[in-house]
């Protein structure tokens, strides 16, 4: 099983550019999440989704957008990249049932210069 797959692994953006971070899971999980991890810090929730067509904001949503058209995919869009968005981004999924283990992707390291 691939689990949670994130692409790309690394990316350098210039200030003001846009990009989409891709996330796909093959476990048929209902719940999907985007977190960012800044150096020496824990993970902060950006957006989450409880199922296809349903998304909601987390703690730090400003500067980001998401969509969930299918159960498998949960892309994160950055519009007008800023240096403050330099971080490592993790996508995660969980079944949303009594089995609550969250499975994480390998992360995308993004640098905005």
Partner 1 sequence: GENVEQHPSTLSVQEGDSAVIKCTYSDSASNYFPWYKQELGKGPQLIIDIRSNVGEKKDQRIAVTLNKTAKHFSLHITETQPEDSAVYFCAASRWDTGRRALTFGSGTRLQVQP
Binding site for partner 1 (CB under 8 A): 4, 31, 33, 35, 40-45, 48, 50, 56, 58-59, 90, 92, 94, 96, 98, 100-102, 104-107
Report the C-alpha gap between 82 and 67 in whole angstroms.
21
In this structure, are residues 47 and 58 in contact, taking their beta carbons and an 8 Å threshold?
yes
Minimum Å distance from CB 99 to partner 1? 9
Report the residue number, 50 or 80, with the smaller CB distance to partner 1.
50
Report the residue number, 74 or 90, with the smaller CB distance to partner 1.
90
Report the C-alpha gap between 88 and 2 in whole angstroms.
20
The tokens describing 33, both together, are 């999440």
């Amino acid at each position: 099983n691939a689990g949670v797959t994130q692409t790309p692994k690394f990316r350098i953006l210039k200030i003001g550019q846009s990009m989409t971070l891709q996330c796909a899971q093959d476990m048929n999980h209902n719940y999907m999440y985007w977190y960012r991890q800044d150096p020496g810090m824990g993970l902060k929730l950006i957006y989450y989704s409880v199922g296809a067509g349903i998304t909601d904001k987390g703690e730090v949503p400003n500067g980001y957008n998401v969509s969930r058209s299918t159960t498998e995919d949960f892309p994160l869009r950055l519009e007008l990249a800023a240096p403050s968005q330099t971080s490592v981004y993790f996508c995660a999924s969980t079944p949303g049932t009594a089995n609550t283990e969250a499975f994480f992707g390998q992360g995308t390291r993004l640098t905005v210069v």
